[in-house]
């Protein structure tokens, strides 16, 4: 299974900046097959633009969120079917910023994952502990609880999700879990997935806490780390491509 490197632009970008960034990435690839599968997750208004820029390229595109509802009177929400209409193959669900700033519960995240799967969109399910939870020795308890909620709802489709472990204390802080710390949690998640599906080998486990061009190789060398969910470094073409190259 090829590794998966997913870029999360968060609330950044403009039509001009996006075009320049994507063109730089495609030029950097030079028509070669990338060492890892690649996806760029952009703010919803730019998904149509990404579709135009990336069509017929080796880079997929995805959304940063999706509604827990199929359709209806939910002003401002974007459904999974709408994302699929714009060619999105992936949608991030349960990012720590959504859990923290928008009070998303484990149940809400699970319902979003289910909606994505039903529309043919692969959810990138984020799990991770805060610094206080890690210091209290609750890391394993927290991530297993978060993932269990999703497994309970998606059931036999568990093998179709992507899971991203993103320690909250390492997101946008410049701090990164050591390769050993990240591997320890990934091994726990791998065992949990193996108990829930007959095809655990299909599930990519990504690391998502300040992975960058400098530390990517050591993190991606770990046996249970199948890729990365990249924040700031995905806004720099050279850095993102270096991370992809580290996935060999």
Catalytic residue numbers, as ranges? 95, 166
**Cα(16)–Cα(31) distance, integer angstroms:** 23
Is 221 in a helix, a strand, or coil? coil
**Cα(1)–Cα(58) distance, integer angstroms:** 16
Dihedral of the alpha carbons of 190, 192, 194, 199, in degrees to the nearest 10: -80
**Cα(78)–Cα(69) distance, integer angstroms:** 9
Residue in 201, 197, 209 with CA at minimum distance from that of residue 233: 209
Contact 170, 177 (CB under 8 A): yes
Please compute, for residue 71, the number of CA atoms within 13 A of its CA located in the half-sphere on the CB side.
5
What is the SS3 assignment for 5-16? EEEECCCCCCHH
- End-to-end CA, the chain: 11
**Cα(149)–Cα(205) distance, integer angstroms:** 17
| Residue 164, beta-bridge partner list | 126, 206
């Amino acid at each position: 299974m090829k590794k998966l490197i997913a870029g999360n632009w968060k609330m950044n970008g403009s039509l001009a900046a996006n075009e320049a960034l994507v063109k730089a990435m495609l030029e950097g690839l030079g028509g070669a097959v990338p060492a890892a599968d690649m996806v760029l997750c952009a703010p919803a208004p730019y998904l149509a633009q990404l579709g135009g820029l990336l069509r017929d390229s080796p880079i997929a595109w995805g959304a940063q969120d999706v509604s827990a509802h199929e359709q209806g009177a939910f002003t401002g929400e974007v459904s999974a079917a709408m994302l699929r209409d714009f060619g999105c193959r992936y949608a991030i669900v349960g990012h720590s910023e959504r859990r923290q700033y928008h009070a998303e519960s484990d149940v809400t995240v699970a319902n979003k994952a289910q909606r994505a799967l039903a529309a043919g969109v692969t959810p990138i399910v984020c799990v991770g502990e805060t610094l206080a939870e890690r210091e209290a020795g609750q890391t394993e308890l927290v991530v297993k609880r978060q993932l269990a909620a999703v497994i309970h709802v998606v059931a036999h489709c568990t093998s179709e999700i992507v899971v991203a472990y993103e320690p909250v204390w390492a997101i946008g802080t410049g701090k990164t879990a050591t390769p050993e710390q990240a591997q320890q949690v990934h091994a726990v998640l791998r065992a949990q997935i193996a108990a829930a599906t007959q095809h655990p080998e299909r599930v990519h486990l990504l690391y998502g806490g300040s992975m960058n061009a400098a530390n990517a190789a050591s993190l991606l060398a770990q046996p249970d780390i199948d890729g990365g969910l990249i924040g700031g470094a995905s806004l720099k073409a050279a850095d993102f491509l270096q991370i992809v190259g580290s996935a060999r």
